[in-house]
Structure 1
Amino acid sequence: MNNDKPRHLIAKYLAGECTPSEKQEVERWYDEYDAGNKKYLNDDAEEIKSSAERSFEELRERLALPVEVPGGQIKSFKVSVKVWLAAASILLVLSVGGYFLLGYSAKSQLTAQQETGPIKPGTNKAILTLPGGEKINLTDAGSGVLAKAGGISISKTADGQLVYQSSREDANISNGKVQYNTLSTPRGGQFQVILPDGSHVWLNSASTIVYPTAFTGKTRAVKLQGEAYFEVAKNKHMPFVVTTNKLDVKVLGTHFNVTAYDDDAAITTTLLEGSVQLNKGTVKAMLTPGLQGVAFNNQQNIAVQKANMEQVMAWRNGYFAFEDTSIKDVMKIAARWYDVEVSYHGSVENKKFGGSISRYKNITELLDNMSESGGFHYQIEGRRILLTD
């Protein structure tokens, strides 16, 4: 990066001529430098120490210069400690030359990662809550039978699936009450469950599904918050119903994906195989394979459109796929999977990104691809990511 801009801004900063946004930018340089780059200054590195001394001396000389103000008056310019530190820090970075400016160097990113470890992808982890309220941490649980009750056996397989097996038709009835289990994945987690009817469910990160320990009656009903992919066992006499906050998805036996996060603007159902009926109040819509229904939270209607199947199924198949997607939407998905917080500076969140990458790479690989194609920068501090123009 050309050093002229930061040197020019520092000069304006010291003269008190920065606009509010320029002043904020210089002080942000200091904050980011203070959080990362200065930790690389080794006290034993004579070359760096010498460069630092020269930079500080240069700064002292500039601080001592009088400043001419409107009206021809001359005054001695005094600056706060933070002004001095901010300017000194940037001059130091410029002098040693080995640190990429503005806090976006690979070393700056590496510093935060060394402190907390690299931000790794999510894994198979979830909490199973039994009818009586007992919680089983499936992340730590070994394979084999986890619980037995009312004729139901719950097991965890060696490849990380939760499986229900029933020996009685009325296994979900105990003292006249339907028994429900709750499977919840945290941010940075995913899990699979094979329901009592044989339906296979893949649960994405930060999601919850509630289901009976066995299905009886006229429907097979489950409740979903978050995202899940369903491969429903066929049963023409007992429709399978997924209930979300504002939409019901009714099927007989089919493959489909439902995205119903509370912080999304819409509930999206995408059909891969079979047929699906969507119900939102009195509004109904039918889907055929390759279509998706979008039910916006602030609208009563259900929009039916052609689906980008690769993008929809990417998470289920172990990768991210985006096509002209806003950076803000990309990072919302990534944040759930990597369990990170994201903030933005400037207009970067409105930029677009397209491409695909494995979900099992560290987050830096995704960010590197995005920053190279999108023309923005990123900085990692612990589990917080800052994106900026």
Structure 2
Amino acid sequence: MNAFKPQKELQKIIQRYVSGTATADEIIFVEKYYQYLDKNADILDQLDAEEIAKMATDNFSAINAKINVDQKRKTIRLYQYGAAAAILLIVFGLTFAFFHQTRPLLKPEFVTQKSLDVLPGKDKAVLTLADGSKVVLDEHTAANISEKDGLKISKTKEGQLVYAVLNQSNLKSGSTIAYNTIQTPKGGQYQVILPDGTKVWLNAASSLRYPEVFSGNERSVELMGEAYFEVAKNKAQPFHVKSHQQDVEVLGTHFNINSYLDNNTIKTTLLEGRVRISNGQSVKILKPGEQAIAEVSGNGVRLATDVDTDDETAWKNGLFQFNNADLKSILKQLERWYDVQIDYRSIPNKKYNGMVPRKAKLSEVLKMLEKTGNIRFEIGQGKKLTVLPEK
């Protein structure tokens, strides 16, 4: 089957639409595209993968050619009004058109549910302060968490934990460094703004340990799991991220680190700037668009130069995005985000390309996977997800 040529362009448009950064042209395009797919849903259900790809490609080109936006026209920006359900419908309509397997599309079976559906994760975490006290971070947490010794810790409505130095002279000094730890559970994510202004997005089932105030000749944090960093520049105080046996040194840059132990590798993907990766066995200098892959066992670091950075950071933008991804790796992401139990002993060897919003219910994501191949899932009691045998 020929590749769906506009796929990458569609993915980028959807990413911008979901994140609220789409242009007026792109907003109109998405709405027109969905209207077309919605009107032709019955036809699409009867077509095979090649026919769907051709229809989607032809329609993409036709709609794109017709768009002539009057900048004074008032466009309904669904995402500004919090219409999450409408956004999901649009994104799913688009996704259906180009979400396909690398093997032929077969007649799908739908998800079998024995219990209630599983809702997606949300902004939640637990903050452990230097004195050992714990603060649950969710929509009910008070805005002001702590304010003492010249340092203020607060929580925003947008799901951010913010450290702010109010008075440099009042900060505690001495050899003892006070550390905080923020930990997200399965089904949780959170953003932290550190005292130096560095922004960190923490994915599900991850933790970040860091000092309340950076002092000395370097800034150092410890990561388990996955996080995206936008490091504040400070040449006099390099920033270090330690994860397992790996150390990432930066001056000011944007990068993603995936260090889940069950992946057996630590992937560091650079989007902007320059970083130095070392794990005791070897050292690599990354340029934007490159990825360092280190074995958890510590056996060296290899470099990948043909990396799609959008795939690696899609989670931060509210998306699951797959580029020839195997089913097992996809299910691991679903396991962390939906906090489900998965039996990996009978996972078929299938690979997928496509995109699904992380705001979707689990059944909606599974239906997408089912529509792209001869595979079925079952959600059972205790949030157990089973891959059923192929017929």
TM-score after normalising by structure 1: 0.69
Per-residue CA deviation, residues 251-282 of structure 1 (Å, 9 max, x unaligned), is: 00000000111211100000000000001114
Letter of the 1:127 partner, please give it.
V
Partner of 1:112: 115
- Relative distance call for 1:299 and 1:172 in structure 2 (3 A) is same
1:309 Cα shift?
1.1
1:301 Cα shift?
1.6
Partner of 1:157: 156
Partner of 2:356: 357
1:143 Cα shift?
4.5
Matches within 5 A, 1:130-145: 130-145=129-144
- Relative distance call for 1:283 and 1:387 in structure 2 (3 A) is same
Structure 1, unpaired ranges of 5+: 1-103
Structure 2, unpaired ranges of 5+: 1-108
4+ residue segments displaced more than 6 Å: none
Per-residue CA deviation, residues 12-71 of structure 1 (Å, 9 max, x unaligned), is: xxxxxxxxxxxxxxxxxxxxxxxxxxxxxxxxxxxxxxxxxxxxxxxxxxxxxxxxxxxx
Cα distance in 2 between the residues matched to 1:263 and 1:217: 34
Partner of 1:293: 292
TM-score after normalising by structure 2: 0.68
Cα distance in 2 between the residues matched to 1:164 and 1:268: 28
Matches within 5 A, 1:80-95: none
SS in 1 for 2:321: strand
Partner of 2:259: 260
Matches within 5 A, 1:89-104: none
Cα distance in 1 between the residues matched to 2:274 and 2:180: 27
SS in 1 for 2:352: strand
Answer with 1 or 2: which has the greater Rg. Answer: 1
Cα distance in 1 between the residues matched to 2:179 and 2:170: 11
Instruction: Determine if contact 1:125/1:139 at 8 Å carries over to the other structure.
Output: yes
Letter of the 1:177 partner, please give it.
T
Partner of 1:240: 239
SS in 1 for 2:343: strand
Letter of the 2:218 partner, please give it.
T
Letter of the 1:337 partner, please give it.
W
Instruction: Determine if contact 1:172/1:178 at 8 Å carries over to the other structure.
Output: no
Cα distance in 2 between the residues matched to 1:196 and 1:247: 24
Partner of 2:386: 386
- Relative distance call for 1:291 and 1:242 in structure 2 (3 A) is same
SS in 1 for 2:168: coil
Matches within 5 A, 1:1-389: 108-109=112-113, 111-113=114-116, 118-169=117-168, 173=172, 176-306=175-305, 307-344=307-344, 346=346, 348-382=347-381, 383-388=383-388, 389=390
Q: How many residues are treated as equivalent by the alignment? A: 279
Paired-residue identity, %:
40
- RCO comparison, higher one (Cα < 8 Å, 6+): 2
Instruction: Determine if contact 1:184/1:207 at 8 Å carries over to the other structure.
Output: yes
Over the aligned positions, Cα root-mean-square deviation in angstroms equals 1.7
Letter of the 1:384 partner, please give it.
K
Letter of the 1:343 partner, please give it.
D
